Structure 1
Amino acid sequence: MKINGDVLRQGVQKALMIVLIILILFMLFYIERFSKVGRLINYSGYARGATQRIVKLELVGRSDPELLDRINKIIDGMWNGSEELNIPKIDEKNFRDKLSIQTQYWENLSKDILDLKQAKGEDKKKLTDEVIKESEEYFDMANATVYAAEDYSESLAAQMGILEIILALVAVGITGLVILDFSDKQNLLNLTKNLGKKAYIDAHTGLPNKSRCEEVFNGTEIVGDNVCCVMFDLNGLKKVNDTLGHVTGDMLIKGFADILKRSVRGNDFIGRYGGDEFAAVIYDAGDNNLCRIFDRIKGNVNKFNEANPGMNLSFAYGYSSACGREGCTMLQLLKEADANMYCNKSDMKKNGGQCYCRK
């Protein structure tokens, strides 16, 4: 089910991406159309105002043929489109209907304006009144064209607003899926890290296990001058298991592991090397530091035994230091510490179980 869910999520994400691309293309189309309509509104307003101006100029006997020619070009461009004036052709029905009425009326008005230049006497007076009347009517028609263009612009803006909402929803959906993917990958990464950590952790004691110890101690690189390796071994654990049971033996192992955690410094290494064997790497291992660590371990062992009178936690240890020596490896120190630990265990048997430092 998890795989199917992931596949479904990826399919939805791809579909949303396709929808997003399509919506963006539509948005670009509307933006371009909106820009064109904006220019058209400007030209419509210009044609409306310029017509009033040219009528006024003709009435006072000041012709402006260039302005008249520009009005003709603008109105023709509004109807057919004009590359010269960068006027788009808009096919929106309401706008085309209003523009058609304005264009036809402009043909009559522009003809009368030209005739007004040649008229004289009573004819000029009658034509002047006619041009004034027509210019007022034309102004209303031009207004209707501008309003139609503005209505179309508002319609485009409304459609763009809907597209923006859909775009936002799709973007939120994609973002949510990306966040989920990232979260899943992060969880998987954390799970992998945790599994990696668990693979190197002894479940019973919580210390690094034998695999991790082997990685630490099997290195062939030369260690620093102040590094020390220590091996610990619990005494008489087999006898405890045989007489008191494995549960008690496990309690001794767990108890000693907790003691080592409390006694060894945080920057040092301590791990469970085998069943009842523990290995440590002590850095900055001067004699005073080592003695303090060993004293803390012995003191904590005494406290453990006092708190658990039915048990007798006892251990042997040996260590080997690279101090004052050249070319020591971690593996070499481990072997030496292990040998010294067994010597210490043998000496303890001869001395009634007394634990002392064995180097």
Structure 2
Amino acid sequence: MQIGKSLRTRIREKHQRYGNHIQKWIQGLLIFLMIGMTLCMMREVSKIQGDARVVNYAGILRGGTQRMVKLEIAGKGDNDLEKYLDDIFDGLLHGGGKYRLTSLKDEDYQQYLELQYNYWKLLKKKIETIKRQGYGQTDLISMSETYFHLADDTVTAAELYTQKCATRISQLERALSVVMVLIVCSMIQQSIEEVMLMKSNKDLKKKAYIDLHTGLPNKSRCEELLMDRENLSEGDDKAVMIFDLNGLKRVNDTLGHLAGDTLIANFANALRSSIPEYYFVGRYGGDEFMAILEHTDKEKAEAVIANIQTTVDHYNEFSRQAHMEFAWGYAISSEFPEATLKVLLEQADRRMYEKKKSMKGARV
């Protein structure tokens, strides 16, 4: 049965380790996705800023050309304005240039921009002809209107492309929010599992120090406390008490082990209910129990013993089960300079056996 239980425990721990490994792998993947999405979003934001400048300069081309045409009609041509518009076209067509513009990677926009640029060259030739021959009966107005429609198409295409980029950023933002929520949920789940594991380990540790029959700390816990190397000559006095339940073998032999186990449990309850709860009480093994009392002198120790005896007498008065009787001994740190708890227990144990002998002699 114990082997089967151990095997189940190992299998459960193996599955838990495997689950933790998968969870950490998924968490790492989510963090990787978050970093990737963040970098993509930063790139798109930077890109859309450049695209916005393209839309702005595409609009400048239309307005600047309109002004240039009006000046030519008025006979006040402006070569600097024409050069300014040429520089903008160069930046929009090829990227960079004097104004460090972005070349939009959109097919519709590039087609409209190419048509606009070709018509821009025709418009400039017409203006050169007008400069040589005079305004006269030319179709500059109608050509400029056609050019303005082409410029409008270019601006619209650039705006649509920018809107697509903004939509991608919005989608990335939503996806990033989902990934971040998943990461937070995963971290919360991992934290909860760690807390539960710590609680489970704490419960297991607690159970490892509990005597299942009496509910008191077991011998392992008693020994752990007794191994404290604190120098008891310094600070407040401590008392170490040991108790031995008399007649347990007789009860086991005459009434059975169940009655003996019941007597042990009842005696443990008597000790725990009689000794203040802030003092340590444990089962040292078999029919022996021990207590460690802080800030206790001889008078307080005797008062505790008297309280225990009163509880036992009350039990014997009303109980129809086996008679309860105990021997005891205690040692106080002030009596033994430089003593440890282990040394005090040895002295208490010696006194307990002297008490036990005297009790047997009194019965004889």
TM-score of the pair, normalised by structure 2: 0.85
Equivalent in 165, 175, 178 of residue 166 of structure 1: 175
**Aligned runs of 1:128-167 on 2, under 5 Å?**
130-167=139-176
Q: Secondary structure at the match of 2:197?
A: helix
Unpaired runs of 5+ residues, structure 2, are 1-10
1:224-249 CA-partner distances (Å, limit 9, x unpaired): 44111111111111111111211121
How many pairs align?
Answer: 348
Q: Aligned-pair RMSD on alpha carbons?
A: 2.6
In 2, Cα distance between the equivalents of 1:91 and 1:269?
Answer: 80
Contact conserved, 1:30 with 1:156, CA < 8 A, in 2?
yes
The range that moved more, 266-275 or 256-265, is 256-265
Of residues 269, 274, 283, the one that matches 2:280 is 269
Alpha-carbon shift at residue 196 of structure 1 (Å):
1.8
Q: Is 1:248 matched up with 2:245?
A: no
Q: Is the 8 A contact 2:90 2:97 kept in 1?
A: no
Shift of 1:78: 0.5
Measured after TM superposition, the shift of residue 272 of structure 1 is 0.8
Equivalent residue number for residue 232 of structure 1: 243
Q: Residues of 2 paired with 1:84 and 1:271: CA distance?
A: 89
Write the distance in 2 (CA, Å) between the matches of 1:162 and 1:90.
20
The answer to whether the Cα contact below 8 Å between 1:202 and 1:209 also exists between their aligned partners in 2 is yes
Q: Does residue 295 of structure 1 match 2:306?
A: yes
Which range is displaced more, 75-84 or 145-154?
75-84
1:260 counterpart residue number:
271
**Equivalent position amino acid for 1:268 in 2:** Y
Any stretches of 5+ residues in structure 1 without a counterpart?
354-359
Paired position in structure 1 for 2:66 = 52
CA distance in 2 between partners of 1:51 and 1:306 (Å): 117
> 1:329, CA displacement in angstroms?
1.4
Bigger CA drift: 228-237 or 168-177?
168-177
CA contact (8 A) 1:233 1:278 kept: yes
Q: In 1, distance between residues paired with 2:236 and 2:181? A: 59
State whether structure 2 residue 356 is matched by structure 1 residue 345: yes
Matched, 1:108 2:117: no
CA distance in 2, matches of 1:218, 1:76: 88
**Structure 1 counterpart of 2:106:** 92
> SS of the counterpart of 1:173?
helix
Secondary structure of the 1:220 match is coil
Distance 1:48 1:276 in 2: 104
TM-score, scaled to structure 1: 0.86
CA drift at 1:315: 1.4
TM-superposed CA distance for 1:320, in Å, is: 0.6
Shift in Å, 1:304:
2.7
Q: Which amino acid aligns with 2:96?
A: S
- Is 1:193 matched with 2:202? yes
CA contact 1:225–1:325 (8 Å) conserved in 2: no
The AA in structure 2 aligned to 1:333 is L
Query: Which amino acid is 1:163 matched to?
Result: L
Deviations 1:38-60 (A, max 9, x none): 22112112222222233334444
Aligned residue identity for 1:140: H
Q: Give me the whole-angstrom Cα distance separating, in 2, the residues matched to 1:19 and 1:218.
A: 53
Aligned-partner Cα distance in 2 for 1:268–1:61? 110
Checking the alignment, whether the CA contact within 8 Å between 1:228 and 1:283 is kept in structure 2 is: yes
Distance 1:37 1:352, change over 3 A: same
Distance, in Å, in 2 between the alignment partners of 1:338 and 1:325 is: 14
Displacement, 1:178?
3.3
Write the mapping of 1:263-342 to structure 2, written as runs, cut at 5 A: 263-323=274-334, 326-342=337-353
Query: In 2, Cα distance between the equivalents of 1:148 and 1:80?
Result: 17
> 1:268: Cα distance to partner?
1.9
Q: Distance in 1 between matches of 2:145 and 2:314?
A: 111
Percent identity of paired positions between Structure 1 and Structure 2:
37
